[in-house]
Structure 1
Amino acid sequence: MKVFVQLAYGFGGTAWRERWKAGRILGLNEEQAYGYSRAASDDVKIVYSEDSQENLPQKFVRYGARAVLGFDFVHAWHNRKQLLAADVVWTHTESQMLAVLLLFRILRPTQRPKILGQVVWLMDRWRKQPFWRRWFFRFLMKHLDLLTVLSVCNRDDGRQLFPELRIERVHFGIRADDMKPARKTCQGKKLKVLSLGNDEHRDWKTFCAAAEALPDVEFSIASSARAASDAAKNVPNVELVRAKNNSELIGLYSEADIVVVPLQDNRHASGITVVEEAIILGVPVISSDCGGLTDYFGPDSILYVPAQNPTALAEAISAVRADPAAALQRAEAAQERVQNAINSVQYARKHVELSRELLDA
């Protein structure tokens, strides 16, 4: 089975590998983006999209087309030969999925590869799209073989929006090869709480409001988002921090007693990467209960609080400080879940399983 993985520009096989080897990609990442290469075997060949070299006018054309269409068609066009040579195409977000669908509509190959198209933000942003774009997206998606999503919320939304499509939830997982033992935290004089991320659904106002309610606790935010710096202004026990490389990032996790993932209501499992990184590095997690995260990890693994409720968040932090043994049990249960079900190996295997179903149908 020949699989072609069409990813966003900048995530191409060669470019990603070079940045990964140089340690310039933060997080518990793979040598190839998102771990799809884990699916490779004697029976499965995995080929990644590549980034074409661009001068300034070419970049302007690609960006302009993306602004009009809502997805990166030019990048897919540059990878058309490999796309056409595949048995199955995998995409990671709607931008690549829609670009591939339009490419095949234009080229009309006699033997079109099956398309396993994943979306992330499509359902959350659907009603914000102009009507003509929603019509265009529907037109293209009629020819999609399988739509995959990362959240049960998006799965349910998608089945209402696109009843004619087969839609499956796939658990997104990251590299868990170097899992650190879960540790009993809250043993120092000062409690240290860390939150990370740049996603648009991070709720920094709630996080900083909880910090104001716990003046004796040290709060840190690792984010380049403007909303984070705005929320942290005039909150003396909240510090903005930055990890320049992976060693510094892992150091932030290692120094933290608790990792908090504060979220606004969303439907796409926002924050799941940070949740998994914290679990793999052995840190207890508190998260907002939204986006379908409980489908990944139950309350036996993560301490959940209602979204946008600073009082509940402050009480949860105090509860972990009061009972670190219970937090350790949750962290151990979360790590067992990662080892057995939520990791990049299982993520890649699920894609292979679904692809074989498409080819055998």
Structure 2
Amino acid sequence: MKKSISVLYPPERDLKAWAQRNQQLEVPSRWPYGLEALSKPPADVEARNLRVATLPQKLAARALPVRLRAQRAVAGDIGVTWDENAARLMVAAEPRRHMYSGVIWLPDSVIADPHGPHQRICAALRQMRKLWVLSRAQLEPLRRVLGKGCPPIEFVKFGVDKEFFAAQPYPERPLVLSIGGDRHRDPATLFRALQGVHERFPFAEIIVQSASPLPAPPGVEKVKHVSHRQLRELYARASVVAVATANNLHASGMTVSLEAMATGRPIVMTRTPGIEDYINDGVSGFLTPQGDHKALAAAVARLLEQPQLAHQMGLAGQREVADGMTTAHLARRISEIIDL
């Protein structure tokens, strides 16, 4: 039987503009996260924006028992959302007969604030047919958070567009690059580490993309924003990509790591439970202890001192992405979860 599937994105995500930018080679993948790869016969798959829930819809979503959800379902068999915030909106505004979602932030949010306002998101997630997370470290914490009524949860490896972030020749001039600024980044440790790198390698260029209010140390250029196209060019120029994070389960820095690995660049990164699913320590890069700026600096310095080792690690990471961490692999796993 032909299935009707809606991949539902937040209202603020301009899908038309994204597709146009993809055609102009400005962003990876035709749909965000490469979920256009879910489109395969005989399923009828669409991507569109969720509507903002009205007050009556919000009240109905809270009041109706789960057994009555199908009676409220809008046209379409299956609804898929990327994260828990979109899942909550789907339940309130556009419920489907069968709903599936990823979960990114909730386990860490509950750890940070056990008594915070998590109930509504938890209630929405209990209405999903299945959930997925992007690190194994999230599985048990999420099951505990959702408790009774928790749907099946599966681990799905994230993936990147290996055509957009294509392999590039290893550069001759040294550049240390750091990208990103989600809530679990650790700019203080990063800047202390890069200060040490600059003191030891004053000839190396160091660029950090970060919105942190902390000032960059001498020898480090800080930029607030780079486009996807600029990011791709920076990866091509980079000798090593370094990321410092605080403790987290959702694999903060995962996207940057895989994009850099796809380009053929080694990674130096903070060891966290989540990131161990993506970085093969000693093979595609180095993992260092949390908050240890000296260890982070030493790992970066080792790769600057040994460009052949850096190149070999970059090639290893490139192979790992190609073999199992592309958007095609990601979509295939989600397809299995939603029984396509």
For residues 11-46 of structure 1, the C-alpha deviation after alignment (integer angstroms, 9 at most, x for no partner) is 253242234445665xxx212111111121122222
> Offset of 1:131 from its aligned partner?
4.8
Residue 192 to residue 332, structure 1, CA distance change in 2 (3 Å): same
**Partners of 2:85 and 2:121 within 8 A in 1:** no
Partner residue, 1:287: 269
1:213 pairs with 2:196: yes
State which drifts further: 280-289 or 342-351: 280-289
| Alpha-carbon distance in structure 2 between the residues aligned to 1:177 and 1:203 | 30
Partner residue, 1:91: 81
Equivalence map 1:23-172=2 (5 Å): 25=27, 29-50=28-49, 84-103=74-93, 112-127=96-111, 131=115, 133-163=117-147, 164-172=150-158
Structure 1 unaligned regions, length at least 5: 53-61, 70-82
Q: TM-score, normalised by structure 1?
A: 0.79
Q: TM-score, normalised by structure 2?
A: 0.83
> Offset of 1:127 from its aligned partner?
4.9
Residue 128 to residue 324, structure 1, CA distance change in 2 (3 Å): closer
Alignment coverage as a number of residue pairs: 318
| Alpha-carbon distance in structure 1 between the residues aligned to 2:160 and 2:37 | 11
For residues 213-256 of structure 1, the C-alpha deviation after alignment (integer angstroms, 9 at most, x for no partner) is 23124321122x1x2x4141xx2111113665444322222222
Partner residue, 1:313: 296
2:316 aligned to which of 324, 329, 333: 333
**Partners of 1:4 and 1:89 within 8 A in 2:** yes
Partner residue, 2:243: 261
Residue 213 to residue 63, structure 1, CA distance change in 2 (3 Å): farther
SS in 2 for 1:133: coil
Structure 2 unaligned regions, length at least 5: 60-72
State which drifts further: 209-218 or 275-284: 209-218
Q: Percent identity among equivalent residues?
A: 25
RMSD across aligned C-alpha pairs, in angstroms? 2.9
Residue 133 to residue 51, structure 1, CA distance change in 2 (3 Å): closer
Amino acid at match of 2:124: L
Runs in 1 of length 4+ with deviation above 6 angstroms? none
Partner residue, 1:197: 180
Amino acid at match of 1:219: I
**Partners of 2:240 and 2:310 within 8 A in 1:** no
| Alpha-carbon distance in structure 1 between the residues aligned to 2:47 and 2:270 | 34
**Partners of 1:182 and 1:332 within 8 A in 2:** no
> Offset of 1:51 from its aligned partner?
6.7
1:10 aligned to which of 1, 12, 15: 12
**Partners of 1:151 and 1:293 within 8 A in 2:** yes
> Offset of 1:140 from its aligned partner?
3.2
SS in 1 for 2:87: helix
